[in-house]
């Protein structure tokens, strides 16, 4: 079996654009992947066709996915989030092809079922919230939908420092959410790498009383020494990894025990098999993982197949319930989310297909994702209804 064509599809989903991939083989089988990268979707699409399509993908056997990914990582040489996202999307599509060719779901090809169902936590639920009482209202609604975990960023547009007013406001937001949802709901506090270590530690100490499940990227995402220093002083778990892109990065993260929860993103770290290697790096250190997924349904499906075949899976991020109302229509064969959990059946491959008509009905729009460090974040997300 050889790959004979590679197509890419850009589509807009509100604050994000999604970049989907379809590979076709000489046997007529098709496999789908996703290579979405906030702010850089058009660039990623260009790289897929400019560098990877003819030189590596066309004529390849999708079963030789390990060699294909190794050569693409090696030969793109400079390394970047764009390149790794492009490679990841192609790799995901290869696994969809392998599953369809063998008549097996991807997770069964990578170790089999380790879980009956996969628990999800909500992200994106606080769109429209500004004041603490707004966060509380939206948190209550998310919990009513079955979620037992909520992630949110209460820090406005902070960068490195929080003034006293900003710190008090952030604490008030977390306090209001905890009071609204009670003690049994897990709260994941998203820092987005905003703060210096001294500011992050001060915030962390103030928030301890509300029993967060974890602090996510409390300091700069790529500074593992600072992350380890923060973790050594925190009584709350640290989560990180969504902005790491190579196996070597994750080897350092896990060997330094710089995080308690590893958040590799299957659509950015090299794909499904690479993510499973990262999970294996974490396992002997008793580190759990909770894949980052802030993009579309194909990337989410890939993460779920990873989750299902790994013993140290912990929690799955889910934006799906708080995305555009046509999100699930971008694909066929989805959604398997119900009352806080995902399930996977035995449908071969990833278990879904692209819906070309709906994708075409929502064309790409440039620069839709807001900056997290200026007022667009406030105006276009937290004031979104």
Conformation bin of residue 216: beta by default, left when phi > 0, alpha when psi is -120 to 50: beta
pLDDT of residue 127: 87
Per-residue pLDDT tens over the stretch 39-52: 899 999 999 999 99
Please indicate whether residue 29 or residue 335 has the higher confidence score (pLDDT): 29
Q: Of the given ranges (123-127, 209-213, 241-245, 331-335), which has the lowest mean pLDDT?
A: 331-335
User: Which CATH class name applies to 3-103?
Assistant: alpha beta
The active-site residue, picked from 49, 134, 292, 362, is 292
The active-site residue, picked from 192, 268, 305, 362, is 192
Q: Distance (Å, rounded) from C-alpha 10 to C-alpha 153? A: 28
Q: Distance (Å, rounded) from C-alpha 376 to C-alpha 192? A: 16
SS3 assignment, position 287: coil
Provide the mean pLDDT of the chain. Answer: 95
Per-residue pLDDT tens over the stretch 65-115: 999 999 999 998 877 899 999 999 999 999 999 999 999 999 999 999 999
| pTM, to two decimals | 0.97
Whether 192 is catalytic? yes
pLDDT at 378 over 80: no
pLDDT at 356 over 50: yes
pLDDT of residue 384: 52
CATH 3.20.20.120, the chain: domain bounds: 108-350+367-382
CA dist 61 → 74, 95, 161, 318 (Å): 19, 11, 51, 32
Beta strand pairing status for 16-25 and 3-13?
A: antiparallel
- 108-350+367-382 has which CATH code? 3.20.20.120
pLDDT at 297 over 60: yes
**Who contacts 160 (Cβ-Cβ below 8 Å, separation ≥6)?**
194, 195, 196, 199
CATH 3.30.390.10, the chain: domain bounds: 3-103
Per-residue pLDDT tens over the stretch 26-38: 999 999 999 999 9
pLDDT of residue 382: 64
3-state secondary structure 56-95: HHCCCCHHHHHHHHHHHHHHHCCCCHHHHHHHHHHHHHHH
pLDDT of residue 385: 44
pLDDT of residue 79: 78
Whether 268 is catalytic? no
pLDDT of residue 383: 58
134 burial level (CB within 10 Å; 0-12, 13-18, 19+): middle
């Amino acid at each position: 079996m050889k790959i004979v064509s590679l197509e890419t599809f850009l589509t807009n989903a509100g604050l994000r654009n999604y970049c989907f991939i379809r590979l076709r083989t000489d046997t007529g089988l098709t496999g789908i992947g996703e290579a979405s990268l906030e702010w850089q979707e058009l660039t990623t699409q260009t790289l897929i066709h400019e560098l990877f399509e003819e030189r590596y993908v066309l004529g390849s056997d999708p079963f030789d996915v390990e060699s294909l990914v190794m050569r693409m990582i090696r030969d793109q040489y400079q390394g970047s989030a764009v390149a790794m996202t492009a490679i990841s999307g192609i790799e995901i599509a290869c696994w969809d092809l392998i599953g369809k060719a063998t008549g097996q779901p991807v997770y069964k090809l990578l170790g089999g079922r380790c879980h009956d169902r996969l628990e999800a936590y909500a992200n994106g639920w606080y769109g429209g919230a500004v004041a603490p009482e707004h966060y509380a209202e939206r948190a209550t609604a998310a919990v009513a939908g079955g979620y037992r975990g909520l992630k949110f960023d209460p820090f406005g547009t902070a960068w490195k420092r929080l003034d006293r007013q900003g710190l008090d406001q952030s604490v008030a937001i977390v306090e209001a959410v905890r009071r609204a949802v009670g003690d049994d709901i897990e709260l994941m506090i998203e820092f987005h790498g905003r703060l210096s270590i001294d500011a992050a530690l001060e915030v962390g100490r103030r928030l301890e009383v509300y029993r967060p499940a974890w602090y996510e990227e409390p300091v700069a995402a790529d500074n593992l020494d600072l992350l380890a220093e923060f973790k050594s002083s925190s009584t709350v778990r640290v989560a990180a990894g969504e902005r790491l892109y190579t196996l070597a990065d994750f080897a350092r993260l896990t060997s330094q025990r710089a995080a308690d929860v590893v958040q590799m993103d299957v659509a950015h770290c090299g794909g499904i098999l690479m993510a499973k290697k990262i999970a294996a790096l974490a396992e002997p250190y008793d580190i759990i993982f909770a894949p980052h997924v802030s993009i579309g349904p194909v990337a989410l499906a890939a993460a779920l197949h990873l989750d299902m075949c790994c013993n140290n899976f912990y929690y799955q991020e889910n934006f799906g319930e708080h995305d555009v109302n046509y999100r699930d229509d971008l694909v066929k064969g989805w959604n398997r989310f119900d009352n806080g959990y995902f399930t996977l059946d035995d449908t071969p491959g990833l278990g879904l297909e692209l819906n070309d008509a709906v994708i075409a009905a929502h064309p790409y729009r440039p620069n839709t994702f807001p900056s997290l460090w200026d007022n667009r974040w406030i105006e276009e997300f937290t004031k979104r209804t």
